[in-house]
Structure formats: structure tokens, C-alpha cells
Amino acid sequence: MEPPGRRLLDGRKALVTGADSGIGQAIAYHLAAHGAAVAITHLGGPGTADRMAREIRDGGGEALTVPLDVTDEEQVRRAFARAADVFGGLDLLVNNAGLERPFRLVDMELEWWRKVLDVNLTGTFLCSREAARIMLDREARGAIVNITSVHETIPWKQYSHYCASKGGQRLFARTIAHELAPHGIRVVSVAPGAIATPINEEVLADPERRGAVEAQIPWGRWGEAAEIARVVTFLASEQAEYIVGSTVYVDGGMTLYPRFE
């Protein structure tokens, strides 16, 4: 835990989707370190999520684990109801769960198009809707932070389904931000660039492929999950109260690279 005077989220009640690995795991830990009670959701077995919750509680924080398939409307309803019941409300959602797999357009099966859109875009809709319902019902000021991608604006060959989902997230977030801001609920997005997480292990282990990615990053290196988590924590806090509907790119300048202008 951060010292009391440095905590940005004391008293906040958060739910993080896809929280038991990669960027989501870093976000869950960082929110907890800054004083938020955190619902750690998991899609597979609860082992990692349970360990994370124990570590947070052992450090003086508050956490629970919740199974959640973000594409299942009933599971979403149950997960949010449990978090709100245990924490006495909910005022922070981080939509982090995501899915990707490369296909050339001509080879992409409808199943995979639907699967990626269901997780990345429909899941964001279902979770945002449930969080907003709880916040509005309890007249709670809060925040919804969507983890999108630089590919909400940069095309990516063989990932047309992923780019479509991230572009959709961007305009969805901006639209609901306009709708919810008058009620004291902010919606913002964080767009990571190339981040060193387990999903990128194969690329990171190949010097040629790793170097090709780094050549597209003006800052010259891959990002770390903790760097995304720090931005999410700031955006969720009162320090960022006047940031509404924006996307913050955490990408080492990748979106500035000449080929993407």
C-alpha cells in the first residue's frame, strides 16, 4: 500500500475485467495500492485471482475474486451485483478484458470475427452498462476507464476484427462519456502501445521481431504493464476530474511515427 498521504483512490470501489494477467493484473495491484477495494475478475480458474486477492489483503487492502465472462449478460449482472454488495457500492470500472488472434481477411472465419467483437466491444458495453446502472442508482460519482489500444487509430494487417473492436470502443466511450458526465460519471480511455506482457512473449523472445516493433517506437523500447496501471490510477482519481471522453495514448510515441501519420 502507498502511504496514506500519497493514495489517490482511498475509499473507492473498483472492478477490473481480465484482472488476473498482464495489464489487468498490474492495474488491479496498483488500484489496491492506492486505496481502492478491488474486485478481481477471472475467466478461467480462480487460482491466480485468489493469490492476488490474498496478497492485497495481506498488504492491508481489500479485494475479492469474481468469475466473469464479459460476453455473458447474466454473468456480468451477477459479478457486478456481488462486487457492489460486498464493497457497499461500485464507483470505478476498468474495462480491460480483450482478445486478439491474427487472420488475413480472406481466411477469417465468422466465428473469430464475432468472438473478438464480443469480448472487446460487446463486453465493454455490457460491463459499462451494469456499472452505470449501479452508479446512477446509488447517485455515486465515478469513472469508467476503457483499455483500448493504439489500434483504435492505427491499422494493423491481419487484425481487422481487433482494430474494428478498438475503433468501436473509442467512439462508444466518447458517446457514453457525453451521456454520463452530467451525472458525475467520467468515461475515459487508455490506449497502450507495445507492452511487454505474456501475450507478447513470442515476439519479445525473437530479437528480429522485437527490434522491428521497437523501430516503430520513437521512445525506443517496449512499455511495461505498470506504466499503463499508473495512468489508469491517475485517470480514475479526482486529480483527473476534468478529463472526460479523451483517449490517453501510452505508447512511447508509436502513434507519432511517420508511417502512421
* pLDDT at residue number 29: 98
Which set of grid coordinates corresponds to residue 148?
483500448
Q: For the purposes of burial, counting CB atoms within 10 Å of the CB of 75, is it exposed (0-12), middle (13-18) or buried (19 or more)?
A: middle
Q: Cell 511487454 identifies what position?
A: 196
Dihedral of alpha carbons 127, 30, 248, 220, sign = negative
Give yes or no for residue 54 having a pLDDT over 90.
yes
CATH of residue 187's domain is 3.40.50.720
Contact by Cβ (8 Å): 198, 174: no
Residue at 259 is within a domain: no
Interval 103-124: pLDDT, tens: 999 999 999 999 999 999 999 9
Task: Classify residue 257: in a domain, yes or no.
Answer: no
Please state, for a pLDDT cut of 90, what percent of the chain lies above it. 87
| Residue range 167-212, pLDDT digits in tens | 999 999 999 999 999 999 999 999 999 999 887 888 888 888 999 8
Residue 38 C-alpha from the chain's centroid? 14
What is the spatial distance between Cα 202 and Cα 205, in angstroms, rounded to a whole number?
5
261 domain residue, yes or no: no
Q: Provide the β-strand partners of residue 67.
A: 42
99 and 80 in contact (C-beta within 8 Å)? no
How many helices (H) and strands (E) are present in the chain, helices listed first?
Answer: 9, 9
Q: How far is CA 178 from CA 37, 184, 246, in A?
A: 27, 11, 11
Q: What secondary structure does DSSP assign to 66-117, as a single string? A: EE--TT-HHHHHHHHHHHHHHHT---EEEE---------GGG--HHHHHHHH
For the ranges 19-23, 196-200, 250-254, which has the lowest average pLDDT?
Answer: 196-200
Q: Which of 29, 159, 162, 249 is flagged as catalytic?
A: 162
260 in a domain, yes or no?
A: no
159 is catalytic: no
Inter-residue contact 135 to 190 (CB < 8 Å):
no
Average pLDDT rounded to a whole number, residues 92-100:
95
What SS3 class is residue 146? strand
Q: Can you say how many angstroms the Cα of residue 55 is from the centroid of all Cα atoms in its chain? A: 21
pLDDT score at 259: 61
Give the chain's domain count. 1
Structure confidence by residue, pLDDT tens digits, 122-179: 999 999 999 999 999 999 999 999 999 999 999 999 999 999 999 999 999 999 999 9
Give the domain extent around 187: 4-252
Burial of 26 (0-12, 13-18, 19+ CB in 10 A): buried
Evaluate whether residue 243 is within a structural domain.
yes
Gap between the Cα atoms of 215 and 32, Å rounded = 35
- Beta-carbon contacts of residue 153 (< 8 Å; ≥ 6 apart): 167, 170, 191, 255, 260
